[in-house]
Amino acid sequence: MGLAPLIGMMLCGVIMRNPVGFNMVFYTGSALLLVGVILAFLLPRTEAKGKAESIDFKKIGVVAARKANIASYAAIFSQWFMMGVITVLLPSYMVDLGMTAFHVAMVMVATTAACVAFNYPAGLLSDKVGRKIPSIMGLALLVIAINLIPVATSFEELIGLGILLGVGMGCILPPVLALISDNTEKGERGTAMGIFHALITLGVAVGAPVTGVLASEVGSSLAIHLSTLIPMAAIIAVLVLVKAGLPQREVIVGGENE
């Protein structure tokens, strides 16, 4: 999730500086998707063993209801909700300042690069001090960076905020993902990760249209500020539901760590 958008945004920024502009971006994306389809057909075939299991909603509910998992899900949803906000409002805000699609792409590159750079240190920190501190730190930086966007008026300021935003995002993913591992058994992790990744998609899918509608009613600046209520709520969830200190597993009835 880190290198792919980083490379994609850099390519888009470079391509859009040329006369071919937007058309070439879509042609390039389509060509890459076609390559992916061809490679998928070349994958070795494997025969399915046994019958496909039906969805176990009870198991999903049990996994999702654990306190630490709730905090993890709230944090990752809020992160990608804010990505939806940025996707909708940042380009129009920058265009209003007289900037181009290239400038938008470069801010997003700065954000993604900072996110990638801080993933590993955040993971190390979460193993040293626990999941709570880096999670809260990342969410707090997210709130600060987003709230400062409406007061930024230059490309350099927006690049700086993009980096700050990326640092925050980079600090969130490793500890909240580790929380899932800390509080699930082997037979549950596929379910837990499925919920986790579904919330990534849901965050963007909800954040973008909700903020777009909100911006049309109250204006972009206020919509940006109001959107940070979501990561603020996630901070409260982490504060209340995640234990301080080194990783501790919840008591799982019937599990290995009961």
User: Per-residue pLDDT averaged across 216-227, rounded?
Assistant: 92
User: If pLDDT is split at 50, 70 and 90, which confidence band does 32 have?
Assistant: confident
Give pLDDT, residue 258: 40
pLDDT at 8 over 70: no
In a shared domain, residues 126 and 22: no
In a shared domain, residues 101 and 13: no
Q: What's the number of domains the chain is made of?
A: 2
Query: Would 40 be classed as within a structural domain?
Result: no
108-112, 141-145, 212-216, 249-253: least confidently modelled range: 249-253
pLDDT, tens only, 191-221: 899 999 999 999 989 999 999 999 999 998 9
Give pLDDT, residue 257: 44
pLDDT, tens only, 43-75: 887 665 555 566 777 888 888 888 999 999 999
pTM score: 0.80
Give pLDDT, residue 255: 46
In a shared domain, residues 21 and 79: no
Range of the domain at 16: 3-35
pLDDT at 254 over 50: no
Token pair 């494997």: residue:
46
Give pLDDT, residue 25: 62
Query: Would 176 be classed as within a structural domain?
Result: yes
pLDDT at 100 over 90: no
Query: Would 54 be classed as within a structural domain?
Result: no
In a shared domain, residues 211 and 143: yes
**C-alpha to C-alpha distance for 151 and 168, rounded to whole angstroms:** 19
User: How many beta carbons lie within 10 A of that of residue 62, not counting itself?
Assistant: 17
Decide which of 66 and 258 is more confident. 66
Give pLDDT, residue 158: 96
Question: For the domain that residue 83 is a member of, what is the CATH number?
Answer: 1.20.1250.20
pLDDT at 97 over 50: yes
User: If pLDDT is split at 50, 70 and 90, which confidence band does 256 have?
Assistant: very low
In a shared domain, residues 160 and 219: yes
- In sequence order, what DSSP letters do the residues of the chain get, joined into one string? --HHHHHHHHHHHHHTTSTTHHHHHHHHHHHHHHHHHHHHHTSPP----SPPPPP-HHHHHHHHTSHHHHHHHHHHHHHHHHHHHHHHHHHHHHHHTT--HHHHHHHHHHHHHHHHHHHHHHHHHHHHH-SHHHHHHHHHHHHHHHHHGGG--SHHHHHHHHHHHHHHHHHHHHHHHHHHHHT--GGGHHHHHHHHHHHHHHHHHHHHHHHHHHHHHH-HHHHHHHHTHHHHHHHHHHHHHS-SSS--PPP-TTSTT-
In a shared domain, residues 15 and 83: no
pLDDT, tens only, 122-167: 999 999 999 999 999 999 999 999 999 999 999 999 999 999 999 9
Query: Would 252 be classed as within a structural domain?
Result: no
Query: Would 246 be classed as within a structural domain?
Result: no
pLDDT at 19 over 60: no
Give pLDDT, residue 124: 93
Token pair 């490793």: residue:
174
Query: Would 110 be classed as within a structural domain?
Result: yes
Percent of the chain past pLDDT 90, that is, above it, reads: 49
Percent of the chain past pLDDT 70, that is, above it, reads: 80
